[in-house]
């Protein structure tokens, strides 16, 4: 059974990083690894800047940006091959940049940057990094191969945020990619990119490379999907706010979703959902500390702790809507939430009383517009610059005393709102944004440090 190894941009940022990745892949050769790479760190941002310069008619500026990207890849190639990259590698990299230059010339002439063109440009980052790494790894493991992900990652035509066509993708992976995998050789491919039915290049959007790895893993039925990055997994809290925060050994998919929603540095759950649905564990590992700790994400938690992690998000704003019409009147909340629906505003936490309801919205919500729409039928008070601190754990519902312990830890803080998530794995409090970091640290000390 194979394994998927996905490496992010920081893991392939230069020649030294790529050597470390190659060492990890070599160790996994008996497991027939599929290696999924992101673009070299900062490459995609540089390509976007170049594209915007080209469409603005600044072709020379676009070319300078592209040349800086080219120089970084050539430097890495020289570093990997002791100053003398193979001619075929240099030719392959030159071809990629020639293609890019032609795209920039077209943009400068047309003065228009379509999502389709942006995808064609963005994809160059992954094509470059995999071309370079595959050439280096073949020198170490000649049976290994490079594979174009666009041959199998079939998507719709929503450029910039394409949606995979799961059944077709699965069939293509099994017919075209699976036969290339085998013990003793690695296949190197790209994350983030795919192609629509016409063959046009598409990209999967935010978290695209993680999503690619998960899609490949589910289609192949691998033993594990490994996400290699620059942290030792998911932490019990932001280490910058809780100095004694530690990696979590195991995390459920639901817990990962809650933590991501509340601002924790964790894989976005949607990107790993294909693997979780296929009951394939996803591990988050540190590229430079392969023997260190890591986090395993599964469909359901097997941990024993009531609290898994503490997370914080802000700023948010709190709207408190008050009206005597709420009392024993059907339809008031429907009318209230229609105000938010009409303006495309997502409501997060909600707490209700007999004649009032408090709710949180993101910092970019149109507050003046919302208040103006609510005022004709209720009073609306706004508290700005607040933050949410969330206690997350799948066993919260089964563990008496957690709420009491949390509130005791927060006894010296002014808690303005308290909410228990509908799924009962998230206890959230709202307080002034300036107090939130200290509140998070207090909760972490109560649930993780007092027992250590």
Distances (CA, A) of 136 to 41, 73, 101, 122, 144: 18, 12, 25, 23, 10
Evaluate whether residue 302 is within a structural domain: no
Evaluate whether residue 284 is within a structural domain: no
Evaluate whether residue 47 is within a structural domain: yes
Which residue range is the domain that position 318 belongs to? 309-449
Q: With contact defined as beta carbons under 8 Å apart, do 176 and 149 qualify?
A: no
* Domain identity same for 330 and 192: no
* Domain identity same for 222 and 327: no
Spell out the residues 6+ positions from residue 436 whose beta carbon is closer than 8 angstroms to its own: 312, 314, 387, 388, 389
Evaluate whether residue 442 is within a structural domain: yes
* Domain identity same for 200 and 335: no
Evaluate whether residue 269 is within a structural domain: no
CATH label of the domain that carries residue 413: 3.30.2130.10
Whether 265 has a pLDDT exceeding 80, the answer reads: no
CA distance 144 to 134: 8
* Domain identity same for 200 and 346: no
The two tokens of residue 377 are 């039928």
Where is pLDDT greater, at 22 or 395? 22
Q: Model-level pTM? A: 0.86
Whether 268 has a pLDDT exceeding 80, the answer reads: no
CA distance 162 to 160: 6
Q: Each residue of 193-224: pLDDT tens digit?
A: 999 999 999 999 877 899 999 999 999 999 99
Q: What is the mean pLDDT of the segment spanning 356-376?
A: 93
Domain boundary among 230, 249, 269: 230
* Domain identity same for 209 and 345: no
* Domain identity same for 226 and 348: no
Q: Each residue of 138-180: pLDDT tens digit?
A: 999 999 999 999 999 999 999 999 999 999 999 999 999 999 9
**Number of domains observed in the structure of the chain:** 2
Whether 281 has a pLDDT exceeding 80, the answer reads: yes
Whether 452 has a pLDDT exceeding 60, the answer reads: no
Q: Each residue of 74-126: pLDDT tens digit?
A: 999 999 999 999 999 999 999 999 999 999 999 999 898 999 999 999 999 99
Phi, psi of 157 (to 5 degrees): -105, 25
* Domain identity same for 58 and 169: yes
* Domain identity same for 325 and 180: no
CA 305 to chain centre: 25
Per DSSP, helices labelled H in 3-114 are 15-27, 43-55, 59-80, 87-110
Where is pLDDT greater, at 152 or 449? 152
Evaluate whether residue 352 is within a structural domain: yes
Domain boundary among 209, 230, 251: 230
* Domain identity same for 123 and 214: yes
* Domain identity same for 43 and 184: yes
Rounded mean pLDDT of the chain?
91
* Domain identity same for 315 and 214: no
Whether 327 has a pLDDT exceeding 70, the answer reads: no
Domain boundary among 172, 197, 230: 230
Whether 451 has a pLDDT exceeding 70, the answer reads: no
Evaluate whether residue 184 is within a structural domain: yes
Whether 371 has a pLDDT exceeding 80, the answer reads: yes
């Amino acid at each position: 059974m194979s394994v998927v190894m996905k490496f992010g941009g920081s893991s392939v940022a230069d020649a030294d990083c790529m050597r470390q990745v190659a060492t990890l892949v070599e160790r996994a050769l008996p497991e027939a690894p599929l290696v999924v790479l992101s673009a070299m760190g900062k490459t995609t941002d540089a390509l976007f800047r170049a594209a915007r310069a080209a469409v603005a008619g600044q072709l020379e500026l676009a070319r300078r940006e592209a040349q800086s990207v080219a120089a970084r890849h050539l430097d890495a190639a020289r570093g990997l091959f002791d100053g003398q990259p193979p001619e075929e590698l240099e030719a392959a990299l030159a071809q990629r940049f020639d293609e890019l230059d032609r795209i920039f010339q077209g943009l400068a002439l047309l003065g228009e940057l379509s999502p389709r063109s942006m995808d064609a440009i963005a994809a160059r980052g992954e094509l470059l990094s995999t071309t370079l790494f595959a050439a280096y790894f073949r020198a170490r493991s000649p049976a290994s191969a490079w594979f174009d992900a666009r041959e199998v990652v079939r998507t719709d035509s929503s450029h910039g945020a394409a949606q995979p066509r799961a059944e077709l993708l699965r069939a293509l992976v099994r017919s075209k990619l699976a036969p290339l995998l085998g013990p003793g050789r690695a296949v190197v491919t790209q994350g983030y990119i795919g192609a629509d039915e016409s063959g046009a290049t598409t990209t999967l959007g935010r978290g695209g490379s993680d999503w690619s790895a998960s899609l490949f893993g589910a289609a192949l039925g691998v033993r594990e999907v490994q996400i290699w990055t620059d942290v030792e997994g998911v932490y019990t809290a932001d280490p910058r706010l809780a100095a004694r925060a530690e990696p979590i050994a195991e995390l459920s998919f639901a817990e990962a979703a809650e933590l991501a929603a509340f601002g924790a540095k964790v894989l976005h759950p949607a990107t790993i959902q294909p693997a979780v649905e296929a009951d394939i564990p996803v591990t988050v590992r540190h590229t430079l500390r392969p023997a260190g700790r890591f986090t395993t994400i599964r469909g359901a938690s097997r941990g024993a702790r009531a609290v898994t992690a503490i997370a914080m998000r802000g700023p948010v704003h709190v709207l408190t809507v008050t009206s005597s019409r709420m009392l024993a009147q059907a339809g008031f909340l429907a009318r209230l939430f229609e105000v938010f629906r009409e303006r495309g505003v997502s409501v997060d936490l909600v707490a209700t009383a007999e004649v009032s309801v408090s709710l949180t919205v993101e910092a970019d919500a149109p507050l003046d517009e919302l208040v103006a729409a609510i005022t004709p039928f209720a009073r609306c008070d706004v508290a700005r610059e607040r933050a949410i601190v969330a206690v997350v754990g799948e066993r919260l519902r089964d563990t008496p005393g957690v709420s009491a312990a949390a509130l005791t830890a927060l006894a010296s803080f002014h808690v303005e709102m308290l909410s228990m998530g509908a799924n009962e794995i998230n206890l959230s409090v709202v307080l002034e944004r300036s107090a939130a970091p200290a509140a998070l640290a207090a909760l972490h000390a109560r649930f993780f440090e007092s027992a250590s």
